[in-house]
Amino acid sequence: MLYPEAVGGTDEGAMRDLACEHVLASQDKQLRMNGAHDGARFWVDLEQGELVFKRGLLFGKKERYRCQILALTGPAGWTWSWADPRVPALLTRAAITVRARGERDGLSTFTTPSLTLSGAEDAISLALVCVGLLRAHFYLLVTTDELGDAWVVVTDPAYAMPPLEPFARFLEMLQLIGQIPLPEHRQPLSSYARWLGLRVEDRPAGILRVASDRDAVDLSFDAFALVAGASVG
């Protein structure tokens, strides 16, 4: 998880908070996108500023969605799109919005042109945070002939997310949370439940209750705020 050692660690606390607030909701969007477009080929049309999905071969159906290029990754690490003159200016608006957040809150992660990350996990974590900040639909890492590896976010209001049943989605994410690099679980699960429109209640003995109108789950946590148990009822 990105607590950016690459820029001196000065953003560590704020980036932890942003990760806890956004990563699970963004991961939910990724899972639903993967389910909707499983098996499709995809690429970026830089001239049109669109991400294109295509199923099948010659006569396969295409779906096109307006997108933004968040960053490029390569030998220099993570380079924000506004810092690379090869990226069309119209496709850097999302990255500029993130930079403005960094300028407002004093977060050098969002204002430093290039970051040296420790690996792919850091890039994924940073992309998930940005999807949340931008209220984007999802991100994709797309290899382009012109730019190399580009981290693309889809912001097109025409994109329809597959529907979800909030409580079922919460239980599914609860099963996956051990695979998602997070500093702790209590705050991220609370934020995710609220994003889903579920009720969140702190109960005695450190129990966190998450409930819909019909169902509820009580979560217990260890000393590190990691999930220790869950009781559905």
pLDDT tens per residue across span 114-157: 998 887 888 999 999 999 999 999 999 999 999 999 999 999 99
pLDDT confidence of 36, banded at 50, 70, 90?
A: confident
Average pLDDT over the chain, rounded to an integer: 91
Torsion angle of the four alpha carbons 103, 104, 109, 114, in this order, in degrees rounded to the nearest 10: -20
Predicted local confidence at residue 9, as pLDDT = 53
Percent of the chain whose pLDDT exceeds 90: 76
pLDDT confidence of 58, banded at 50, 70, 90?
A: low
Residue 107 has pLDDT above 90, yes or no: yes
- Residue scoring higher pLDDT (38 or 198): 198
Q: What's the mean pLDDT in 154-173?
A: 91
Please give the Cα distance from 210 to 207 (Å, whole number).
Answer: 10
211 burial type by CB count under 10 A (0-12 exposed, 13-18 middle, 19+ buried): middle
pLDDT confidence of 10, banded at 50, 70, 90?
A: low
pLDDT tens per residue across span 96-105: 999 999 999 9
Percent of the chain whose pLDDT exceeds 70: 94
* 132 three-class SS: helix
